[in-house]
Amino acid sequence: MRKYLVTGGAGFIGSSVIRELLKDKSNNIVMLDAITYSGRRENFSDLTDNSSFTFIEGNICDDQFCHQLILDTKPDGIINIAAETHVDRSIDSPDVFIQTNILGTQNLLKIALEHWQTLTSGQQEKFRFVQVSTDEVYGSIDIGEVDEGSSFRPNSPYAASKASADLIVRSYNRTYGLPTIVTQGSNTYGPRQFPEKLVPLIILRALSGLSLPIYGDGKNVREWLHVDDHARGIYLALLNGLPGHHYNLGSTNRITNTEMVILLIEALKPFIEEKNKDQLINSIEYVPDRPGHDLRYSMNSIKSRQELGWRVSRGLNDGLLSTVEWYLENKDWWKPITDNNYSLTRLGSMEG
């Protein structure tokens, strides 16, 4: 039996990683989450009866709390997914991104190192600290692809906070020998994603008969990855990744934001009344762009396929259709969000 501490497990990606880990009956999972607006108890309510799963509410920035937690649980590995992740919110409120994403990660690393230094040599060799990050640290890619050796060129406060944390993680490996691994994931979609992000935002606005907002001219290119594939890549990095290494997790499904919205419209059509189907495409509304909006993301993920044995299993059309179906079948998950003064708007335009 191996015990893993997963931070941020109540979030969109985190709850999927928990489910991936629990597929292996030899894993015992301790989940730490602060339960913020997007990290919700509803994301893991189906797991609470699992004897291999323990939820603990707390914040990675709380030094004494995290120190006692790791002292008590003695994990064989840590997966740090706890983070503020929405670019728009980072534009309006960068302070919380610096606090959680940088200082919170540093706090975890410090305590993880203290724990690791108490282990036997055999336990130290097996221990891993996995930092879950983003392709946005590479910045906008004019042509071609970035690989794990490419420079970080973040352009938003969110991306800069994640890049900073990733470099601190790297330093703990190079300076202290802590066996760290960093994953860089591309834009992720799927069930349980808070509707500030493009895919659930468009789905829920379309179902509500609202306009479908797209930033700028809609030509920004993103690489879309289903959350199940992302979660499996993170787990494989934990199992097979080499300490001190970064692993890109990209799908090669690269399309413009306008193309993504059109694909979502097509996925929604079977579930929309006939008289409203033609209105969907006319509901697209191009809104003022956000500052520092990266034009294009494109990652080379050959290293992850070769070293981790990772493969993308979900095609984009199939993944979007199943995502639409999930939101249609789980109104009890998202209705409390929209009923609680969340207006399904885009943030971060800084107008005026």
* Structure-block tokens of residue 103: 């200082």
Three-state DSSP state, 105: helix
Residue among 20, 33, 76, 136 flagged as catalytic: 136
Residue among 4, 158, 189, 327 flagged as catalytic: 158
What's the rounded Cα separation, in Å, for the pair 218 and 156?
A: 18
Residue among 33, 135, 229, 294 flagged as catalytic: 135
Q: Which residue(s) pair with 286 in the sheet?
A: 214
Convert 244-300 into a string of H (helix), E (strand) and C (coil). CEEEEECCCCEEEHHHHHHHHHHHHHHHCCHHHHHHHHHCEEEECCCCCCCCECCEC
Q: Residue 174 half-sphere exposure, CB side, CA atoms within 13 Å? A: 7
Q: Which residues contact 109 (CB under 8 A, 6 or more apart)?
A: 129, 168, 169, 172, 178, 180
What's the rounded Cα separation, in Å, for the pair 283 and 280?
A: 5
For 248, other C-beta atoms within 10 Å of its C-beta total 26
What's the rounded Cα separation, in Å, for the pair 126 and 108?
A: 18
What's the rounded Cα separation, in Å, for the pair 18 and 235?
A: 9
Q: Residue with structure tokens 């292996």? A: 24
Could you confirm whether 285 is annotated as catalytic?
no
What are φ and ψ of residue 32, in 5° steps?
A: -110, 130
What's the rounded Cα separation, in Å, for the pair 146 and 152?
A: 10
How far lies 151's CA from each of 141, 148, 272, in Å?
11, 8, 45
Could you confirm whether 49 is annotated as catalytic?
no
Could you confirm whether 286 is annotated as catalytic?
no
Where in the sequence numbering do the catalytic residues fall? Answer: 135-136, 158
